[in-house]
Amino acid sequence: KATLTFPGGTAELPMVDATSGASSLDVSTLTKQTGLTALDYGFVNTAATKSRITYIDGDQGILRYRGYPIDQLASNSTYLEVAWLLIHGELPTADELADFDERVRRHTLLHEDLKHFFSALPHTAHPMSVLSSALSALSTYYENGLDPKDPEHVEMTTIRLLAKLPVIAAYAHKKSQGQAFLYPDNNLSFVDNFLRLNFGNMAEDYEVNPVLSKALERLLILHEDHEQNASTSTVRLVGSTGANLYASISAGINALSGPLHGGANEAVLEMLGQIQESGEGVRRFVERVKNKEDGVKLMGFGHRVYKNYDPRARIVKESANAVLDSLGISDPLLDVAQELEQIALEDDYFKERRLYPNVDFYTGVIYKAMGFPTRMFTVLFAIGRLPGWIAHWREMSLDPQTKIGRPQQLYIGEGERQYPQ
């Protein structure tokens, strides 16, 4: 225990066990006892959220899902296996996984009428807008199965979301290219089905490249959860009102769409392209970043939590090289990225500020090599993050202590004022 001294007295602060999340800390009681308010703009949904799902140690660069290290999961598990782990807390047995996989495959089809929904949107629509709105629209087909307190409804919605969100995402992609939608092929695995829906066509069989398939699976696993960030807190906050999973996750997708969150991988690729096209050289670009010339920013570096190398970035970097090798191509943007990383990591400016590449730094290079247009990158992040959002929504909804979220406000505006006569 620690003792907090404040103007009116003292209070005992219970310590939080960061690994188990065990704590008797009750922020509202503490606030009442001390009269002090923590100034944290996401108070109820970040600082005070207790969760058993994901552990991050930003100083050490550690990320674990339900206690298991992220690199081992990314190397040895499938996306659906990790989804089960996040949602249920344990790795599935072989039978549980086979059953889960089979149920997800059985629910990939979208209602035919939903195709009219896609037709109503312009082909220039950003795929993230298509994704969030199509997901809200999807809920209207299941009006009798939306009760957030009914475990069967929640389980069924979980399966439907995992099965259908990738199909919606692929349709958003196809629409932006002016190409026909394909029906899912449920003989294929989750990732292979998704690749075919994006890159296959009506005229010929689609041949899956196993290296790309493995790389995409790893990337999706790396993105499956990342504790209380903007989109996950949004899902929890919206869900705390009793809103169903479709509505909550659609809100999370909108939160993710911002360039400071999921849109960052898109911004990194644009930055690398600009460096390459300008011909100014990476060193000169780094100098401009340090001197804050023309408001130039180094995208894909630094993180609010990681003050060390983001453990996901290291794995993504390995995958980038493996994917380009397997395709027998090179990408000058990967060379620019690697040179930029090397120069920055040797420079005191970045060392002192503890700025290291984050998960977004190399991700776009891989997605580009796979053939995804830049505007699909954040959509891929959303498909990756879906199991984490579901797990957080379920953890919160099942907790009998959960109340409707209401972020704490510290009023800093005008005092009482006379209305002008």
Show which residues are catalytic.
Answer: 303, 360
CB of 359 to ligand MLT, least distance (A): 6
Q: Which amino acid is at 263?
A: G
CB of 403 to ligand MLT, least distance (A): 24
Asked if 178 contacts 151 with a C-beta cutoff of 8 angstroms, the reply is: no
Closest of 81, 133, 165 to residue 383, by C-alpha = 165
Q: Which amino acid is at 317?
A: K
Q: Which two tokens stand for residue 131?
A: 């994704």
Q: For residue 108, give the 3-state DSSP assignment.
A: coil
CB of 305 to ligand MLT, least distance (A): 6
Alpha helices of 190-305 — where are they, by DSSP H? 190-199, 210-222, 230-239, 245-256, 264-278, 282-290
Contacting positions for ligand MLT (CB under 6 A): 226, 229, 261, 303-305, 359
CA neighbours within 13 Å on the CB side: how many for 300?
Answer: 26
From the number of C-beta atoms within 10 Å of its C-beta (0-12, 13-18, 19+), residue 126 rates as middle
- Give CA–CA dist 66/394, Å, rounded: 15
> Which residue has the closest beta carbon to ligand MLT?
229
- Give CA–CA dist 255/246, Å, rounded: 14
Closest CB to ligand MLT among residues 200, 357: 357
CB of 263 to ligand MLT, least distance (A): 11
- Give CA–CA dist 238/226, Å, rounded: 18
Closest CB to ligand MLT among residues 73, 182: 73
CB of 168 to ligand MLT, least distance (A): 21
